[in-house]
Amino acid sequence: MLNRRSFIIASGLTALASTRVLSANDTVRVGVIGAGGRMRNLLDAADKLGPYQIVAVSDVYGPHRDAVRERSNGVATTHLDYREVLATDVDAVFIASPDHWHVRMAVDALAAGKDVYLEKPVTHTIEEGATLTRAVRSSKQILQCGMQQRSWTHFRDAVDLIQAGSLGRVPQVRTYWWQNYHRDWAPKPIDTQALDWKLWLGSAPDQPFSEEKYNHWRWFWNFGGGAMTDLFSHWIDVVHWAMKSDQPREAHMLADKYVFEQWECPDTIQAAFRYPGFDVGYDGMMNSSVDDGGLEFRGTEATLKLNRSGFSVYREGVQDGQNPVLTEKSFRDGTISHVENFLACVKSRKEPNAPVETGVAAARAGHIGNLAFHRGGQTAWPPKAQDRS
């Protein structure tokens, strides 16, 4: 039932009341590791919060380093090797490198006594999950996974509604994300003289420089995991959170390269995951952005449709479900709130909104989907003995 408590939760008052703004005297000294487009988004968010200072930046591409140094008003030192950043006097680091560097950089940062904001997906392989979790839990450091929905007010309110039983039992969750790389992701030319390609490759197999791989690394298996770890990981994290269940029992994936033949990862996907008591579906492609991305929690009493703009609840039997009985709009980019939560935890030493286990579980679900793809379209989890390789 949608009652007064549910309405109060959905109004956002609970979340607003708990928001902490850093005071004018709180300055967190930050190191930047991986200074591309996503890092610019993180620093834009940090600029809107309490004071912080960029002390050092590392990136394998010179123009990226220079841009962050300029942003710091010339204060930040610039480095090719991220370990030099860890040797500086910083309280915390933001890591937004390609996926295949995430765990190594994060583990080194934790060992150096730095708090970490680690972009998603936090792992590049299933096996890395245990390594990262052990590194965090054996240290005294804070690690915030870049699952910003965990701090986004209307997502928090939607999860409260679901967990309060306002939708009834939820047997099915639909997730989707459509993007148009032809229209929206035209890369800039790369000055190869300013790029250390060998260092960018890191632990990946040696291979010639490729502008396509450098710009669209998420779509090559050596560096990323395609849509399942880039996009789906955000939505499955919300599902894990709302449904209090974070390991699928089996996965199915129908996918292909219909648009971008130059990629390795599929650009068009239909995937399905079976969790205890409910199923999750995912649809996506990279050449159509109509409807963007979102989730639908379909319950026995009501359906909740959720995206980054807000959510609406549709009650069964109320005008045939055409008009929402409850709506909430987003009033602030969740990345801002998520960075704010991280900086607050750096000061308070409290657990962040997206601790390591949540990021590992979200990435793992995407990896399991990709595992199903590589194994002919389906896999059990944990894999059966004959499927282990």
Cis amide prior to 121 (ω within 30 degrees): yes
Q: Quote the percentage of the chain above a pLDDT of 70.
A: 91
Judge whether residue 319 has pLDDT over 90.
no
Nearest CA-CA partner of 271 in 171, 360, 371? 371
Structural contact between residues 32 and 84, judged by C-beta atoms closer than 8 angstroms = no
Q: What is the pLDDT of residue 321?
A: 62
Q: pLDDT category, 183, cuts 50, 70, 90?
A: confident
Cis amide prior to 352 (ω within 30 degrees): no
Structural contact between residues 161 and 9, judged by C-beta atoms closer than 8 angstroms = yes
Structural contact between residues 332 and 153, judged by C-beta atoms closer than 8 angstroms = yes
Chain position carrying tokens 């940090």: 46
Calculate the dihedral angle through the C-alpha atoms of 27, 31, 36, 41, rounding to the nearest 10 degrees: -20
b/e burial code for range 60-81 (CB count within 10 A of at least 16 → b): bbeebbebbbebbeeebbbbee
**Residue 206 CB coordination number (10 Å):** 7
Nearest CA-CA partner of 377 in 269, 280, 277? 269
* 314: its two tokens: 């549709």
Structural contact between residues 253 and 369, judged by C-beta atoms closer than 8 angstroms = yes
Q: What is the mean pLDDT of the chain?
A: 92
Residue 294, exposed/middle/buried by CB under 10 A (0-12, 13-18, 19+)?
A: middle
List CB contacts of 375: < 8 A, sequence separation 6 or more.
387
Distance (Å, rounded) from C-alpha 273 to C-alpha 173? 10
The domains located in the chain, with CATH, are: 15-149+339-354 (3.40.50.720), 170-298+363-387 (3.30.360.10)
* 310: its two tokens: 């807000």
Judge whether residue 294 has pLDDT over 70.
yes
* 285: its two tokens: 């492609």
DSSP letters spanning 325-356:
SEEEE--S-HHHHHHHHHHHHHHH-PPPSS-H
Judge whether residue 50 has pLDDT over 80.
no
Q: What is the longest distance spanned by two Cα atoms in the chain?
A: 64
Distance (Å, rounded) from C-alpha 286 to C-alpha 182? 8
Distance (Å, rounded) from C-alpha 307 to C-alpha 311? 6
- Predicted confidence (pLDDT) per residue in 198-217, tens digit: 999 999 999 999 999 999 99
Distance (Å, rounded) from C-alpha 52 to C-alpha 328? 32
Q: pLDDT category, 13, cuts 50, 70, 90?
A: very low
Nearest CA-CA partner of 286 in 175, 174, 184? 184
Mean pLDDT of the 100-104 span: 98
Judge whether residue 18 has pLDDT over 50.
no
Judge whether residue 15 has pLDDT over 80.
no
Q: What is the pLDDT of residue 228?
A: 98
Residue 1, exposed/middle/buried by CB under 10 A (0-12, 13-18, 19+)?
A: exposed
Distance (Å, rounded) from C-alpha 202 to C-alpha 101? 7
- The SS3 of residue 14 is helix
Helices (H), the chain: 4-10, 13-18, 37-47, 62-71, 82-86, 102-111, 128-137, 153-163, 181-184, 197-201, 211-215, 227-230, 232-243, 334-348, 356-374
List CB contacts of 202: < 8 A, sequence separation 6 or more.
100, 101, 104
* 320: its two tokens: 């045939």
Q: pLDDT category, 242, cuts 50, 70, 90?
A: very high
Residue 348, exposed/middle/buried by CB under 10 A (0-12, 13-18, 19+)?
A: exposed
- Predicted confidence (pLDDT) per residue in 343-362, tens digit: 999 999 999 999 999 999 99
